[in-house]
Amino acid sequence: MTVRVRIAPSPTGNLHIGTARTAVFNWLFARHHSGKFILRIEDTDTERSREEYTQNILDGLTWLGLNWDEGPIFQSRRLDVYRQRVQDLLDKGLAYYCYCSEEELDAMREAQKARNEAPRYDNRHRNLTAEQQAAFAAEGRRPVIRFKIEDDREIVWNDMVRGHMSWRGGDLGGDMVIARAAENKGIGQPLYNFAVVVDDIDMQITHVIRGEDHIANTAKQILLYEAFGATVPEFAHTPLILNMEGRKLSKRDGVTSIFDFKEMGFVAEAMVNYMTLLGWSPPDSTQEFFTLEEAAQQFSFDRVNKAGAKFDWAKLDWINSQYLHSMPVEKLTDLLIPYWQAAGYEFDAVGDRIWLEKIAHIIGPSLTRLKDAVEMSWLFFTQPLTYSEDATHQLQQEGSQAVLEGVLSALNNGTELTEASSQDIIKHVIKEKNVKKGLVMRSLRAALTGDMQGPDLIQSWLILHQRQFDKARLEIAIATAN
């Protein structure tokens, strides 16, 4: 048997981290078994589905590296298939027309509520005669189509995450609507539980891997598989992603869209690495970093937790920082350029490439997120500087002005600035001005960077010198010291 799994998002919003994590688990399982990963777009909700959301889903999966083998397959292009399958169930007597009005259904639920009963459809139109159907139609009622569910039926399956699962037919809310109303006893828009079963049968899906919030749908869907005489796939219901308080992750917790994370400065490798760990643990519990391919080699559902997975921003930040710290400077520069451009920094992305790579190299070890580079590197792009309180204080220290004048004098003598010559200038000023090295270094940092904390001073100086920013800043700092 060839393993065939699918991810089936609805384009009613951007790609959510919960859907993305489900996609990761499907992809890992398919690759572990040398199977197929299929993309289906469930766009039958015509009022809420948007083309831009579809594109966001495709772009998000591509960015994460979750390449699909078949698809995208659009439900909206399969409506005739669904209608034919509904007709098949009608012809077999497994489905029927229900003419109940909304007012009648509301009254039914209110009466059940008054009796302290769970709300459900009472199947009152299951056995209508042809005459009764004609009478309702004459009133102008448009029927939905319901699938018969027997109350005494027990539905069981062995979930790959949760083990033995069992539901009673009587707990499923009565006969299930599988298609909306249409004119002249036609077959209207198919509903979710029906369409996904038809799709999974036609696409020969062998394993349905999805969030635990779909468990209640599974019993109904198993009954539909059986009604069609199809093989029931294996099911795996993965834990929900929770916030740190144990509630389902939502927009109130910050961001939930995959591209929100991208814009915040998280890299794709870190995101898929972290999402893989949201509910799954590798055999070697000490291993925290792996590529998708490495994770796929080890992935199995016996190591997926039943309990909800708490989303930990600190852990994601740490994982992201480790990827950034070890990233080749060429790739890091490619990723940082859009952030620098968005910040309004002026540079030539091609002509200044070597200079930009030097900036990426010096700030890379301090990055947690890509967007941190905007604040960390402003000193290389902005002229003139603004000084922090500590830097201003340093520039007003006794001897600071003389030290900076000595450095500027050396630069004006035409000395070619290299790492070695910068150290020579510092030694010369220390000796000439008879001051301690600390005063020289602190004054130079304040003058060149505008702050007392920051990246390596000598390397920063060399980068600034390439644009002749160092001399101008020393002159301004000397004036400030005065």
* Three state DSSP letters for the chain: CCCEEEECCCCCCCCEHHHHHHHHHHHHHHHHCCCEEEEEECCCCCCCCCHHHHHHHHHHHHHHCCCCCEEEEEHHHCHHHHHHHHHHHHHHCCEEEECCCHHHHHHHHHHHHHCCCCCCCCCCCCCCCHHHHHHHHHCCCCCEEEECCCCCCEEEEEECCCEEEEEEHHHCCCCEEEECCCHHHCCCCECHHHHHHHHHHHCCCCEEEEEHHHHHHHHHHHHHHHHCCCCCCEEEEECCEECCCCCECCHHHCCCEHHHHHHHCCCHHHHHHHHHCCCECCCCCCCCCCCHHHHHHHCCHHHECCCCEECCHHHHHHHHHHHHHCCCHHHHHHHHHHHHHHCCCCCCCCCCHHHHHHHHHHHHHHCCCCCHHHHHCHHHHCCCCCCCHHHHHHHCCCCHHHHHHHHHHHHHCCCCCCHHHHHHHHHHHHHHHCCCHHHHHHHHHHHHHCCCCCCCHHHHHHHHHCCCHHHHHHHHHHHHHC
Structure tokens given for 121: 């459809």
Q: Give the amino acid at 165.
A: M
Marked catalytic residue, from 113, 248, 251, 437: 251
Q: Give the amino acid at 419.
A: E
* Three state DSSP letters for 246-294: CCECCHHHCCCEHHHHHHHCCCHHHHHHHHHCCCECCCCCCCCCCCHHH
22: β partners: none
Structure tokens given for 439: 């005063």
Quote the distance between the C-alpha of residue 268 and its chain's center.
9
Is 251 within any annotated ligand binding site? yes
Torsion sign across C-alpha atoms 65, 68, 74, 79: negative
371 is catalytic: no
**Residues placed in the known binding site for ATP:** 251
The residues annotated as belonging to the active site are 251
**Residues placed in the known binding site:** 251
